[in-house]
Structure 1
Amino acid sequence: MKKSFYIYITLVFLVAFQHQTFAQATRTWVSGVGDDVNPCSRTAPCKTFAGAISKTAAGGEISVLDPGGYGAVTITKAITIDGRGTMASILGSGTNGININAGPNDVVIIRNLSINGGSTTSPGTNGIRYIAGKKVHIEDCTISNFGTNIISVALATKGLLTLKNVNITSNISTVPGISVATTADTAFVSLDNVNIQGIGTAVNAQAGALVNVFNSFIANNSRGIFAETATSVIRLSNTSVLNNDVNVGLGAGKVFSYGNNQINAPIGSVLNVLSSQ
């Protein structure tokens, strides 16, 4: 009887330990001196975003304790990654900085990060690649030095991307900035207080892309705004598009201005296409 009691207690302990080991927290933490074998708590943080995301519940948040580089990450569920209060970065040399392939109802929030593709000899591919998920919000971030796109939106279904207080640049002057397309539905993109300088085409709207640009500064690129395909639309409000080799390139799509923008020549086609609508 006594032996059976000890076996029972041992089994209870093991079950409890397993539950504790595999439980996901709603808030996790990373630190430059952390370890991904840790539970990602504040007192025992993980070292990378990739290590923390597997221990963070859907809809939860990963926070940053101290300055550091926390590695590229693939996001497959609703999550918030927030580097507020410190210098949190992702170095994505040779890969995507953040790859977002979430569920149809998932919302992803990225805040207060520096996302860097590294050197010109071996740059990262895309700073952020958004291929699935209901909504993605990028806030207070700097994204730079990637070789394929700074931000790539390549959706198969409807999705929404918002950027607020974001700086985009690159040491590769030909790289596209924000490239937006969807193969089957509509990609909605909103830029608010976004600064894009020193790259190829700053904003490129392709099939199914509806892009609104507010309160932004787009300058010193090879091309500022480009509505490439017939189903793409870009609307500009209170935005400066200056000193690009071509400020507005009018492809088969449409570009509309609300009449309160600063747009200098050269324009890639007839200026009167830019009308208030």
Structure 2
Amino acid sequence: MRRVSIVFCLLVATSASAQVARVFLAGTGNDAGDCTNQATPCRSLQGAVTACPINGEIIILDNGGYGGATITKSLTVNASAGVVAFIARTITVNISANDKVVLRGLSMNGKVFGDGFGIEFSGGGTLVVENSTIAGFATGAGIDQTAGGSNLIVNNCELRNNIIGVRTATGSDTNSNVVIENSRFEYHSLFAVESNGGTTNVSVRNSLLANGSGGVFAYGQSQSQPALIVVDTCTIAHNLEGLHAEIAGTGSATIRVTNSTIYHNGSGMVLTGAGAAIESYGNNRVTANTNNSTFSGTVLALQ
């Protein structure tokens, strides 16, 4: 009998823990309620973040405006397909090195309040942004990564009408990684993807970067902080500048391009500073740019 009681208690504890790991968010909710109960969801994203346990999940139930939030722990924010989870304020992610935050299915627009940044990624760890639209942050970046040693993953997102789409600018010798896949960047006032200070490895794959001031920008200001961007299977078109690598002093900035199309830009490729490099794997299509359609060098042949 005692053994049965112990097993029963463990099952009850496990069930309670599983329930608490989920927090619900809805346009008709109330932050003062029990947000772990689907019938009494939270009203604001910040309220749901506060109620959500470490490694828990915030489930957005219906259409609504949910405000910004500051996230300092591992969690997932999930809006399913068909739900418009509208966010008009900045989301700040400031997590530790071993933490991971996933933001999925958000519709962010900075035009409402004029916030400078869509997502400010200012701590270490890993941030994943999926299936989201980030637009109208007209004084900053859609996603801004500023922490050395952090990892940013952007997948199946649309970024438009920001100053910069995705920017990494850590100013740190410690390497930071950015992976962008299956995404669309349009109408940015500066660049769609920018590495602007700090040791970075950026990969942009299977994406469109078009109709803005610039496609991809890599900047290096110190030999100890090299910037490397790899562009793979992308279309870079109808920008004032397609690709731009720039160095200052002893800096290192390299853009490597494979299986991509660069066309109808004002300048296909721009190099600023001796040693800046835009290199080809020899399998790209470069055509109809008004100026500067020549790579600075060739990478080793494809293996």
Q: 1:275 to 1:141 in 2, by over 3 A?
A: farther
Give the aligned partner of residue 245 of structure 1. 240
* Distance in structure 2 (CA, Å) of the matches to 1:244 and 1:275: 23
Give the aligned partner of residue 86 of structure 2. 89
2:241 partner amino acid:
V
- Tell me the TM-score normalised to structure 2 length: 0.77
1:268 counterpart (247, 267, 270): 270
* Distance in structure 2 (CA, Å) of the matches to 1:33 and 1:272: 55
2:134 counterpart (137, 143, 146): 143
2:124 partner amino acid:
G
Aligned 8 A contact 1:98 1:129 in 2: yes
* Distance in structure 1 (CA, Å) of the matches to 2:214 and 2:297: 16
2:187 counterpart (193, 198, 214): 198
Q: 1:197 to 1:274 in 2, by over 3 A?
A: farther
Superposed, which structure 2 residues align to 1:5-16 within 5 Å? none
Give the aligned partner of residue 176 of structure 1. 164
| Pairwise CA distance, 1:183 | 3.0
Superposed, which structure 2 residues align to 1:10-29 within 5 Å? 25-29=20-24
What is the percent sequence identity of the aligned residues?
27
Give the aligned partner of residue 61 of structure 2. 65
Does residue 181 of structure 2 align to residue 152 of structure 1? no
Give the aligned partner of residue 38 of structure 2. 42
Superposition RMSD in Å: 1.7
Give the aligned partner of residue 110 of structure 1. 103
Map Cα deviations across residues 30-63 of structure 1 (whole Å, 9 max, x no partner).
1101000011120110101100111111000000
Aligned 8 A contact 1:176 1:203 in 2: yes
| Pairwise CA distance, 1:274 | 5.9
Aligned 8 A contact 1:63 1:82 in 2: yes
Map Cα deviations across residues 223-275 of structure 1 (whole Å, 9 max, x no partner).
111111151111011001111001111212100012x1001251213632363
* Distance in structure 2 (CA, Å) of the matches to 1:143 and 1:176: 11
SS in 1 for 2:47: helix
1:81 partner amino acid:
V
- Tell me the TM-score normalised to structure 1 length: 0.84
- Pick the structure with more strand per residue: 1
Aligned 8 A contact 1:25 1:55 in 2: no
* Distance in structure 2 (CA, Å) of the matches to 1:273 and 1:139: 34
Note the residue ranges of structure 1 that are not aligned, 5 or more in a row.
Answer: 1-19
Give the aligned partner of residue 117 of structure 2. 126
Map Cα deviations across residues 135-189 of structure 1 (whole Å, 9 max, x no partner).
111000000001211111101x31110100000011x6xx122110223311100
1:89 partner amino acid:
F
SS in 1 for 2:295: helix
* Distance in structure 1 (CA, Å) of the matches to 2:67 and 2:141: 18
2:234 partner amino acid:
T
1:196 partner amino acid:
F
Superposed, which structure 2 residues align to 1:195-234 within 5 Å? 195-199=184-188, 200-206=190-196, 207-230=198-221, 231-234=226-229
* Distance in structure 1 (CA, Å) of the matches to 2:208 and 2:298: 19
Aligned 8 A contact 1:256 1:274 in 2: no
* Distance in structure 2 (CA, Å) of the matches to 1:186 and 1:129: 18
* Distance in structure 1 (CA, Å) of the matches to 2:97 and 2:70: 16
Q: 1:274 to 1:241 in 2, by over 3 A?
A: farther
* Distance in structure 2 (CA, Å) of the matches to 1:274 and 1:139: 34
